[in-house]
C-alpha cells in the first residue's frame, strides 16, 4: 500500500484541498481548448475531450513531472488535420497509437536527455511565442457569427458585456492572491463570473455555443484500418512528426515547470508516459496530444505540486462529459477567456525583454526568430529545431576561432606547439595554419593538455599533419591526449608517437536519470 501512495505522490506533504481545487480549475479550462483543437483537426469535439481525459490521467499517474497537465493540443491538431480530411478519424486513431509507440521507444532508449541541447534563448523564444499564441487565440472569443455565417467582431452591448466579464475575471485573478492564497484565483474568477451571468440573467457566449460536450465513457475499439504495409507507409510520416512535436513540447514544458517549482522531473519517464497515453488515447477514440504549457501553468500557479491535481482534472473532465454537460455548457466563455489571458501574461518571459541589451546578439537573434516562427507557423517543433541549429552553428563558429598555439623551442632544439581550444571541423583550417612544417626542426612536440580532438575532422587533420612531418623526415610527438583521443587516432592508423605517461585521466559523466 505504501508503494501505491508513493506512486501517486500521496503523502503528508500533499495539500489535498489545493490539489483538488487546482484540478477542478484545470478541468474547466480544458473543455474549450479540447473542443477547439478537435475542430481544428476536423474531428468530433468528443474526440478532443476523450484525448484530454486519457492523456491527462495516464501522464499524471506515470509521468516524469508531477503537476504537469497533458491533453489535446493545437500542435498535434495541425499535424494530423491533413490526414483527417483525406482519410477520416480511424486513420487518426491508428496514427496516434503508432506515435505513442515511437514515444515509448524514445523513452526506453533514453532520448529524453536530448532536450538538454536546447539553449535557453530557444526556450525563451518558445515560451514567448506560445504566450502570444495563447493571447491571440483568445481574441476569437470577442467575435460572433453574423447572418451570412461569417466571423465578425462583436459590437455594442454584447461587446461591452463580454469585455466587462473578462475584466472581472482578470481583476480577480490579479487581486485575489494579494489578499489570500487559500483558494485558487482562477477557479474563483470562473465561479464569480458564472454566478454573475446566472444571477443577472446576462446573455453572453457560453461553452455550449462552441459545441455540445455531452457524451459517455470513451468507447474502446481497435482502429478500423487495413493492417497492411500501405497503411503503415501512409500513417508513419504523420506519426513520426506527431511523436516528435509532442515530445519536444512536453519536454520543454517539463523544463519550464521544473524552473518554476525548483525541482527536477525525468525526461525519459515523461517520454514513456506520453507514449503510453497516446497509445491508449488511440484505442479510446481520442485524437492524442501532449503536455500543455498553459494548463500546466494554471495548475502550478494554483498551488498544485503533486500528481493528484492532474488525476482530479481528468476525472472531473469525464464527469462533466458524462453527467454535467448541461451545466458546463452554460459556463461563460468570458470567464475562461480571462483565465487564459492571464495565463498568457504569466507565460511570457518579461525578464527576456529586460536583458536584451545584455544578451549576446546571437542569442537575441535566436530568441526573436524562434518567437516569430512559433507565432507565424504555429509549429513549435520546427521553431525549436531552427533555434537549436542556429545556436549550434553560432557555437561552432565561436569555438572555431578559439584554437590557439603557443610556440617555443627548448634547449635541445625541440619545437613545442602548446595547443588550447577544441579541434573539430570548424577549427581544422586554423589548426593547420599554426604549423610551419618545412622550417620546423627535426623534432616537434604538439601538446594537447589544454585542447581536445572532438570529431573525425580533427582526427583527419592530425593524421595529415603527421604525414606532412613524416614526409620531411621529421619526428612528431603528440602529448597529453585523452584516452578516447588516443584510441580514435590509433583506430585511424595515425603515424604518432604518444607520451602516455604524461596523459591526464578523463572521466565521462553518465546520466542515470
Per-residue pLDDT, 129: 87
Q: Is 247 in contact with 108 (CB distance < 8 Å)? A: no
Cβ neighbours, 10 Å, residue 432:
13
- Using left for φ > 0, alpha for ψ between -120 and 50, and beta otherwise, residue 43 falls in beta
Instruction: State yes or no: pLDDT of 146 exceeds 60.
Output: yes
**Model confidence over 381-411: pLDDT tens digits?**
788 889 999 998 988 888 888 889 999 999 9
Residue 489's pLDDT band (boundaries 50, 70, 90)? low
Per-residue pLDDT, 501: 35
Residue 7's pLDDT band (boundaries 50, 70, 90)? very low
Residue 504's pLDDT band (boundaries 50, 70, 90)? very low
Show the 3-state SS of 78-109: HHHHHHHHHHCHHHHHHHHHHHHHHHHHHHHC
Residue 502's pLDDT band (boundaries 50, 70, 90)? very low
- Domain boundaries defined on the chain: 14-354, 401-502
CATH architecture for segment(s) 401-502: 2-Layer Sandwich (3.30)
Residue 183 contacts by C-beta under 8 Å, 6 or more apart in sequence?
21, 176
* E strand or H helix at 31: helix 16-40
Residue 241 contacts by C-beta under 8 Å, 6 or more apart in sequence?
79, 381
- Three cell numbers, residue 499: 607520451
Average pLDDT, the chain: 87
Instruction: State yes or no: pLDDT of 85 exceeds 70.
Output: yes
**DSSP secondary structure of 187-222:** HHHHHHHHHHHHHHT----BGGGT------SPPP--
* E strand or H helix at 27: helix 16-40
Per-residue pLDDT, 491: 62
- Three cell numbers, residue 374: 512559433
**Measured between alpha carbons, how far is 179 from 34 in angstroms, rounded to an integer?**
32
Instruction: State yes or no: pLDDT of 254 exceeds 50.
Output: yes
**Model confidence over 356-381: pLDDT tens digits?**
888 888 899 999 999 999 888 877 77
CA distances from 309 to 189, 385, 499 (A): 19, 32, 60
Where is pLDDT greater, at 64 or 181? 64
Q: Is 256 in contact with 41 (CB distance < 8 Å)? A: no
Instruction: State yes or no: pLDDT of 154 exceeds 90.
Output: yes
Q: Is 60 in contact with 311 (CB distance < 8 Å)? A: yes
Residue 171 contacts by C-beta under 8 Å, 6 or more apart in sequence?
none
Residue 107 contacts by C-beta under 8 Å, 6 or more apart in sequence?
268, 269, 270, 271, 272, 273, 274, 275
Lowest mean pLDDT among 305-319, 384-398, 483-497: 483-497
Q: What burial class does residue 39 get, using C-beta atoms within 10 Å of its C-beta: 0-12 exposed, 13-18 middle, 19+ buried?
A: middle
Instruction: State yes or no: pLDDT of 510 exceeds 60.
Output: no
Q: Is 119 in contact with 393 (CB distance < 8 Å)? A: no
Q: Is 80 in contact with 40 (CB distance < 8 Å)? A: no
**Measured between alpha carbons, how far is 107 from 269 in angstroms, rounded to an integer?**
6
Q: What burial class does residue 44 get, using C-beta atoms within 10 Å of its C-beta: 0-12 exposed, 13-18 middle, 19+ buried?
A: middle
What's the average model confidence in pLDDT over 264-277? 95
Give helix 120-138 / helix 293-301 axis angle, nearest 10°.
Answer: 90
- What is the DSSP pairing of strand 404-409 with strand 415-423? antiparallel
**Measured between alpha carbons, how far is 355 from 352 in angstroms, rounded to an integer?**
5
pTM given for the model: 0.78
Instruction: State yes or no: pLDDT of 513 exceeds 50.
Output: no
Residue 29 contacts by C-beta under 8 Å, 6 or more apart in sequence?
186, 294, 295, 298, 336, 339, 340
Among residues 29, 24, 47, which one has the least CA distance to residue 37?
47
Residue 490's pLDDT band (boundaries 50, 70, 90)? low
Residue 6's pLDDT band (boundaries 50, 70, 90)? very low
Among residues 240, 257, 346, which one has the least CA distance to residue 300?
257
Amino acid at each position: 500500500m505504501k508503494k501505491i501512495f508513493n506512486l501517486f505522490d500521496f503523502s503528508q506533504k500533499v495539500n489535498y484541498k489545493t490539489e483538488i481545487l487546482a484540478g477542478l480549475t484545470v478541468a474547466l479550462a480544458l473543455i474549450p481548448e479540447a473542443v477547439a483543437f478537435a475542430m481544428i483537426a476536423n474531428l468530433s469535439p468528443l474526440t478532443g475531450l476523450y484525448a484530454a481525459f486519457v492523456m491527462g490521467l495516464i501522464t499524471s499517474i506515470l509521468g516524469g513531472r508531477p503537476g504537469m497537465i497533458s491533453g489535446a493540443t493545437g500542435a498535434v491538431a495541425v499535424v494530423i488535420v491533413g490526414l483527417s480530411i483525406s482519410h477520416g478519424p480511424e486513420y487518426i486513431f491508428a496514427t496516434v497509437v503508432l506515435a505513442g509507440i515511437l514515444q515509448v521507444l524514445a523513452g526506453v532508449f533514453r532520448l529524453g536527455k536530448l532536450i538538454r541541447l536546447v539553449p535557453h534563448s530557444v526556450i525563451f523564444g518558445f515560451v514567448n511565442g506560445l504566450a502570444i499564441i495563447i493571447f491571440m487565440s483568445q481574441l476569437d472569443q470577442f467575435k460572433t457569427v453574423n447572418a451570412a455565417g461569417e466571423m465578425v467582431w462583436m459590437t455594442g452591448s454584447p461587446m461591452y458585456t463580454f469585455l466587462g466579464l473578462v475584466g472581472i475575471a482578470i481583476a480577480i485573478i490579479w487581486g485575489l492572491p494579494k489578499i489570500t492564497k487559500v483558494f485558487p484565483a482562477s477557479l474563483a474568477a470562473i465561479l464569480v463570473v458564472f454566478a454573475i451571468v446566472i444571477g443577472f440573467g446576462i446573455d453572453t457566449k457560453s461553452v455550449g455555443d462552441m459545441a455540445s460536450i455531452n457524451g459517455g465513457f470513451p468507447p474502446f475499439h481497435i482502429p478500423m484500418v487495413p493492417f497492411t504495409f500501405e497503411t503503415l507507409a501512409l500513417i508513419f510520416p504523420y506519426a513520426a512528426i506527431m511523436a516528435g512535436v509532442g515530445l519536444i513540447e512536453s519536454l520543454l514544458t517539463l523544463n519550464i515547470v521544473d524552473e518554476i517549482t525548483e525541482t527536477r522531473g525525468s525526461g525519459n519517464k515523461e517520454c514513456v508516459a506520453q507514449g503510453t497515453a497516446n497509445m491508449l488515447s488511440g484505442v479510446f477514440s481520442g485524437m492524442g496530444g501532449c503536455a500543455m504549457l498553459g494548463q500546466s501553468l494554471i495548475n502550478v500557479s494554483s498551488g498544485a505540486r503533486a500528481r493528484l491535481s492532474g488525476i482530479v482534472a481528468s476525472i472531473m473532465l469525464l464527469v462533466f462529459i458524462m453527467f454535467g454537460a448541461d451545466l458546463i455548457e452554460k459556463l461563460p466563455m468570458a470567464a475562461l477567456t480571462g483565465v487564459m489571458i492571464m495565463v498568457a501574461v504569466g507565460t511570457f518571459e518579461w525578464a527576456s525583454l529586460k536583458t536584451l541589451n545584455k544578451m549576446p546578439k546571437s542569442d537575441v537573434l535566436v530568441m526573436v526568430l524562434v518567437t516569430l516562427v512559433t507565432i507565424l507557423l504555429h509549429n513549435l517543433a520546427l521553431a525549436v529545431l531552427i533555434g537549436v541549429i542556429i545556436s549550434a552553428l553560432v557555437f561552432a563558429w565561436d569555438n572555431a576561432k578559439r584554437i590557439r598555439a603557443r610556440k617555443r623551442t627548448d634547449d635541445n632544439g625541440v619545437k613545442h606547439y602548446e595547443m588550447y581550444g577544441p579541434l573539430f571541423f570548424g577549427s581544422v583550417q586554423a589548426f593547420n595554419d599554426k604549423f610551419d612544417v618545412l622550417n620546423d626542426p627535426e623534432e616537434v612536440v604538439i601538446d594537447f593538455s589544454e585542447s581536445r580532438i572532438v570529431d573525425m575532422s580533427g582526427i583527419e587533420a592530425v593524421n595529415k599533419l603527421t604525414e606532412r612531418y613524416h614526409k620531411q623526415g621529421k619526428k612528431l610527438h603528440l602529448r597529453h591526449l585523452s584516452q578516447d583521443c588516443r584510441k580514435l587516432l590509433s583506430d585511424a592508423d595515425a603515424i604518432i608517437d604518444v607520451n602516455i605517461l604524461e596523459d591526464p585521466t578523463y572521466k565521462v559523466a553518465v546520466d542515470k536519470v
